[in-house]
Structure 1
Amino acid sequence: MSNVPPPDRPGDEPSSSLSDAQWEAFLREAAEGGGGSAPKEPSARARMVTRRLREEGEATPWRAPQSPPQGGGRTRRRRVGAVVGVLVLAALALVAVRPSLVTDRLPGGGDDGSVTPLAAESARPTGAPGVPAEAERATREHPFRGSPAERWAEGADAIEVPQAKALSGLSEQDVAFALRRTKELLVAANLDPAVLRGERPDEALDVLDPKQPELLPKLRRSLSDPDEDHDPLRLFTRFDPHEARLVGDVVKVRGRMTLAAGEPGVVKVDADYTFVYPLVRANDADGPVARTIIRRHITLTLNDPARWNVTEGKLLMEKYFSEYGNTACDVYDGYLHPGFPDDDGPGGARPTGPLTDPYDRSRTLTGSEPGDCGQVTRT
């Protein structure tokens, strides 16, 4: 039950010797410290004026000097301010618990078309990056527009090498060498313009130890005579130069590299990166832009040649997993085949697998994923 006095009814109002205007003038003088005697029998309307003036006096800090508030407008402003304050505090609480809720959803950029770059990835994300409210179509001038990759770092600079340290009986210099060579392999296999055009990734192959059984012969076979069992795309990014080419020279990259000790005399370098390639048809001057997204998770090891039968200065490949977004299914010619917005879809077999967000880096790649060709939710 609310404690509200009953309204004045017609016929209950006592008479007054002053008008309401005189009452209001008197009350203002009293509030300013002036003299004057109050009427003895205020009317109901006079009491309402008194209450209104008292309320206006309480809201004085909010009032604009040139235009006093009308009808309690300042009270509404105060309530709005309180609600906004609560929302801001709630947002800050969420950021403290899960910063990606904000960092993955910041607006694209300012009036000059620039975008705010994301900080380097330091741990596995907790979920997929947000979807823009109105995803814009990519253009040749802005090939990453409408994509989370618009805010990613570019090219080799995006592959940041962690601080080296002595580990598992190997010196800091040895570990720094392993990190540097891992980056060189990633760059040579996924960013070298010649390799992207389909040429041999000799610099990437040079990182690997020829003493590792089967690996190099299998990779070389995949490059010279690809098929389903010998697919160079498992480690190298290659496009058919007669079919597609990069827009400009920027590839967006996001991921992280970590160190771990293996057996005595073994250091493991784990690298998990996603590469986004903007593409146009090779001979289409005005056609649309497509994006192909490749995620690679590899683990290389540096083994102490004093303890292991390895080649000094080379790395062993412990494992490598790959996932491709926007390429033809069941085509094993050694090239990626992107679909374009004005196509019915990528060529090859019809996708039968699950829907997948290629930008979702919270998922793990383990090599045990279904082999079916699925569909991407966005590119």
Structure 2
Amino acid sequence: MSRDHRWRTLAAYDRHREKVREPVAEQPSEEHRPESSSLPDDVWEKFVEDSERDIRASAPKEPSARARMVTERLRAMDEAQARAAAGGKRRTGGKRRTAPPARPDGWRASPPLRVLERPASRRRRIWSVAGIVVAVALAVVVVNPSAALSWLPGSLGEDETPAAADATPLAPETGRPGAAPSDAPAGTPTRAKPYAGSPAARWEAGADAIRPPAAKAVGGVPADRIRAALNGTKEFLVAANLDPAVLKGERPVKALDLVDPAEKEYLADLRDALREPTEKNDPVWTFTRFDPAEVELAGEVRVRGRMTVEPVKGTAGRAVIKADYTFVYPMARAGGGDDEVSRAVVRRTVEVEAVDPARFQAAEGHIWITDVNGEISNDDCRDGDGVIRPQFFADRHRSSEPSGPRRDPYDRSRSLDGAADCGVVTRT
């Protein structure tokens, strides 16, 4: 075969190959054969056989019944494992208000500002933990026997992890974090080690963890007024979330006395909630309270957060203090007979307005609260009982199967805005 003839034969073969790249419904026929008679019959037949074999090999095949059954079973197992690893229910609720309360003539004579009211701004989010206990317990025993033994009292339950004993305290928070904390000591919480397994092991404890920033003039408000509002905001947070009497369900007298008396409707709303809690008006939206007949504090309260000052746009002589803090409470069953500890995680945001006394009237020794928001993790997901009820191991066993989106209560990188609902926390 001459070189020229060989070239023409391969060119015809290539032209036909370009045609059969497109999908075809029927097998190649003699009509598709190139007009050129220079292609030998045995080459053409070999080409047709190869094309048919390639088409059959590339055609999609429907999976067998057994393959479909195995795939479905694996998918169901993955979903069950994910539910067991995360835990329980979540509840959120909220209120917002746009109209200010009645006040004397000339009292903060400025454009309307956001103030709380019964139908709207004290949003409460409550996230509870409930899991498939048997599956989780078996998994812990198989994967990490030491963690399982930490549930037991005495030396068998002691956590010898160096990170738990030598946790370096975190530096104060100066801005919104970029992600949830990933570092936490190993182990299961007990009365001796209430923060085992929690990022709060490295957090500061009590009122000292709430540090107002240095006061300076902002938005036309003098530095001394900013300082008074910052200190008042800290006092309110401490009185509402750290006072031992309030944590035991007693009346938060000091916190109520700090609120400006001119916020009559807001104060009446809070007093109604304390006197007779309802689903729409529950005091835990503002105050951290537990039932002393059920639980008791098993360690110091860990706190982390920040406080900032911003001018109020569009109005000279007004600034707003924004406080965002997370409180972690290690709780045990009342009576001391049980070594199990269950942590409740409560995040609060409070906004307090500071004003220039030369422009606006203000009550000395009080704060003007413009917004309160919150999120409670590891509760029984019920509104209207007036207290937080942490869920223990047995409670999770009796609870329903977890559902809803998952949240990390230690993730301070996210805001608290969102719809009211009940969902799942990934850890406490």
Report the TM range for the smaller structure's normalisation: 0.5 to 0.7
Q: 1:236 aligns with which of 287, 294, 302?
A: 287
- Find the partner of 2:224 among 141, 166, 173: 173
CA distance, structure 2, for counterparts of residue 148 and residue 199 of structure 1: 29
Q: Which residue number in structure 2 is paired with residue 258 of structure 1? A: 308
The 3 A distance-change label for structure 1 pair 346 and 296 is farther
Identify, as 1 or 2, the structure richer in helix: 2
- Number of the residue aligned with 1:374: 423
List aligned pairs for 1:62-77, cutoff 5 A: none
Output aligned runs, 1:317-328, within 5 Å: 317-328=369-380
Q: Could you tell me how far apart the structure 1 residues matched to 2:362 and 2:404 are?
A: 40
Distance across 1 between alignment mates of 2:419 and 2:398: 20
Rounded to whole Å, the distance in 1 between the matches of 2:207 and 2:359 is 33
User: Does residue 1:292 correspond to 2:366, yes or no?
Assistant: no
Aligned partner (choices 174, 177, 193) of residue 244 of structure 2: 193
Work out whether residues 282 and 383 of structure 2, in 8 Å CA contact, stay in contact via their aligned partners in 1: no
**1:128 deviation in Å?**
0.7
2:330 pairs with one of 267, 278, 282: 278
**8 Å Cα contact 1:257-1:270 kept in structure 2:** yes
Kindly state the Cα deviation for residue 341 of structure 1 after the two structures are TM-superposed: 2.3
Residue aligning to 1:208:
259
The answer for the alignment partner of 1:311 in structure 2 is: 363
Partner of 2:177: 125
Contact 1:244 1:282 in 2 (8 A): yes
Kindly indicate whether the alpha-carbon contact (under 8 Å) linking 1:178 and 1:269 is maintained by their aligned counterparts in 2.
yes
RMSD of equivalent CA atoms? 2.2
Q: CA deviation at 1:310?
A: 4.1
What are the Cα deviations for residues 138-193 of structure 1, in whole angstroms up to 9, with x where unaligned? Answer: 11111011100000011111101101002223222111111111000000000010
Summarize deviations over 1:199-236 as a string: whole Å, max 9, x none.
11111111211212511000111111100111111111
SS class of match (1:286): coil
Aligned partner of 2:271 in structure 1 is 220
Q: What is residue 7 of structure 1 aligned with on the other side?
A: none
Task: Among all aligned residue pairs of Structure 1 and Structure 2, give the percentage whose two residues are the same amino acid.
Answer: 48
Question: Residues 149 and 179 from structure 1, CA distance in 2 versus in 1: closer, same or farther, beyond 3 angstroms?
Answer: same
Map residues 39-78 of structure 1 onto 2, 5 A cutoff. none
1:254 counterpart SS class:
strand
Seen in structure 2, the aligned counterparts of structure 1 residues 216 and 242 have a Cα distance that, compared at 3 Å, is same
* Counterpart residue identity of residue 370, structure 1: A
Residue segments in structure 1 that go unaligned for 5+ positions in a row: 1-107
Cα distance change of structure 1 residues 292 and 312 upon mapping to structure 2, 3 Å threshold: same
Query: Cα distance, 1:303 vs. partner?
Result: 2.6
**Code of the aligned partner of 2:311:** A
Aligned partner of residue 344 in structure 1, secondary structure: helix
- Report if the CA contact (8 A) 1:245-1:280 is conserved: yes
SS in 1 for 2:322: strand
Query: Could you say what secondary structure the match of 1:179 adopts?
Result: helix
Mapped pair 1:182 → 2:228: no
Aligned to 2:389: 337
How far did 1:265 drift? 2.1
Provide closer, same or farther for how the CA distance between residues 142 and 173 of structure 1 changes in structure 2, counting only shifts above 3 A.
same
- After superposing on structure 2, the runs of 4+ consecutive aligned residues of structure 1 that deviate more than 6 Å are none
- The structure whose RCO (Cα within 8 Å, separation 6+) is larger is 2
State the SS of the aligned residue for 1:324. strand
- Paired AA for residue 325 in structure 1: S
Q: Which runs of 5 or more structure 2 residues have no equivalent in the other structure?
A: 1-159
Q: How many pairs align?
A: 267
Displacement of 1:261: 1.5
Q: TM-score, normalised by structure 2?
A: 0.59
Structure 2 CA distance for aligned equivalents of residues 328 and 124 of structure 1: 29
Q: TM-score, normalised by structure 1?
A: 0.66
Cα distance in structure 2, aligned partners of 1:177 and 1:122: 20
Amino acid at match of 1:340: F
Distance in 2 between the 1:329 and 1:112 partners?
A: 31
Alpha carbons 2:221, 2:354 under 8 Å: kept: no
Contact 2:190 2:339 (C-alpha < 8 Å) held by counterparts:
no
1:263-288 CA deviation, whole Å, 9 max, x = no partner?
Answer: 32222110000000000011242331
